[in-house]
């Protein structure tokens, strides 16, 4: 499935400030939401629609409306920073949560929480800002599929080529929408140049 890297001047501008190490958590959270809005628009391009009619004050007119409910699944903890935009944009959204934490030394993600609704028939977005090794995203999408989702998109803010390749190999049916495809990973499996630890920057933790 395709990798879509947002190619828009505004996305680039927002991402530049997000990457800047002097950006403080309050501003970081706002930038995350703005970028996520752009990403979600792209990621939901294929959601099902139908034709309807409404009456404007002037005359009846044909309109296009959503014909498929959406679900969003943020991966805790950093993915929580991406939750508000789809909640505001989509009337029929259901939310599931997956808690994953990478081991500091091995970078292997361990699952510590999961609460997912039935996802059958829902267009489902998995939200996680960092796609590094791809281990967390691959685990999250496996869980999402176990709950019935068949139309899934992975939404990340910064991705590494290693993570994209890993996820595409394990879930070839899942498109990836991201704001940046970076150089790669360092020896600690952090994205280079990346923006550091997203969760720490979002929540002001050391």
Active-site amino acid positions: 102, 106, 197, 200
- Distance, in Å, from the CA atom of 149 to the CA atom of 142, rounded to the nearest integer, reads 10
Among 37, 66, 101, 117, binds ligand PRP (CB under 6 A): 101
Q: Is 194 in the site for ligand URA (CB under 6 A)?
A: yes
Residues counted in the chain: 206
The entry of ligand URA, ligand PRP, none near residue 32 (CB within 5 to 8 angstroms by kind) is: none
Residue span 151-190 as binding mask against ligand PRP, x where in contact by CB under 6 A, dash where not: ------------x-------------------------x-
Pairing status of strand 151-159 against strand 176-181: parallel
Q: Which does residue 77 bind out of ligand URA, ligand PRP, none, counting CB within 5 to 8 angstroms by kind? A: ligand PRP
Stretch that binds ligand URA, among 26-34, 36-44, 143-151, 189-197 (CB under 6 A): 189-197
Which region among 10-18, 27-35, 132-140, 143-151 touches ligand PRP (by CB under 6 A)? Answer: 132-140
Which positions from 121 through 180 interact with ligand URA, judged by CB under 6 A? 130, 132
Q: Looking at the DSSP assignment, which residues form a beta bridge with residue 131?
A: 159
In angstroms, rounded to a whole number, what is the distance separating the alpha carbons of residues 59 and 74? 42
Query: Phi/psi at 112 (nearest 5 deg)?
Result: -125, -5
CB 183 within 8 A of CB 192: yes
Query: From residue 148, how far is each of 73, 116, 144 by CA, in Å?
Result: 13, 10, 7
Instruction: Choose among ligand PRP, ligand URA, none what residue 128 binds, the Cβ cut-off being 5 to 8 Å by kind.
Output: ligand PRP
Task: Select from ligand URA, ligand PRP, none the partner in contact with residue 148, using the beta carbon and a kind-dependent cut-off of 5 to 8 Å.
Answer: none
CA 106/CA 182 separation, integer angstroms: 21
Q: Which residue of 4, 29, 102, 145 would you call a contact of ligand PRP, by CB under 6 A?
A: 102
| Side-chain half-sphere CA neighbours of 92 within 13 A | 13
Output the six-digit token pair for 66: 């959503």
Q: 140, 180, 137: which is closest to 161 by C-alpha? A: 180
DSSP 8-state secondary structure symbol assigned to residue 189: S
One residue of 132, 149, 154, 179 binding ligand PRP per CB under 6 A: 132
- Applying CB under 6 A, which residues contact ligand URA? 78, 130, 132, 190-191, 194, 197-199
- Applying CB under 6 A, which residues contact ligand PRP? 75, 77-78, 100-102, 107, 109, 128-137, 163, 189, 198-199
């Amino acid at each position: 499935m395709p990798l879509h890297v947002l190619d828009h001047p505004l996305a680039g501008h927002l991402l530049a400030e997000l990457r800047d190490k002097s950006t403080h958590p309050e501003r970081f959270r706002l930038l995350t939401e703005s970028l996520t809005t752009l990403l979600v628009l792209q990621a939901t391009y294929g959601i099902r629609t139908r034709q309807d009619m409404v009456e404007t004050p002037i005359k009846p007119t044909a309109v296009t409306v959503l014909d498929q409910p959406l679900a969003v699944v943020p991966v805790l903890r950093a993915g929580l920073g991406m939750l508000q935009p789809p909640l505001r944009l989509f009337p029929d959204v259901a939310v599931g949560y997956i808690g994953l934490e990478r081991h500091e030394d091995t970078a292997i993600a361990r699952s510590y929480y999961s609460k997912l609704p039935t996802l059958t028939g829902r267009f489902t977005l998995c939200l996680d800002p960092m796609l590094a090794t791809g281990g967390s995203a691959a685990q999250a999408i496996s869980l999402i599929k176990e709950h019935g989702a068949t139309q899934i998109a992975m939404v990340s803010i910064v991705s590494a080529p290693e993570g994209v390749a890993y996820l595409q190999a394990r879930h070839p049916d899942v498109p990836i929408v991201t704001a940046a495809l970076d150089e790669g990973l360092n020896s600690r499996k952090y994205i280079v140049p990346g923006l550091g630890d997203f969760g720490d920057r979002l929540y002001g933790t050391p």
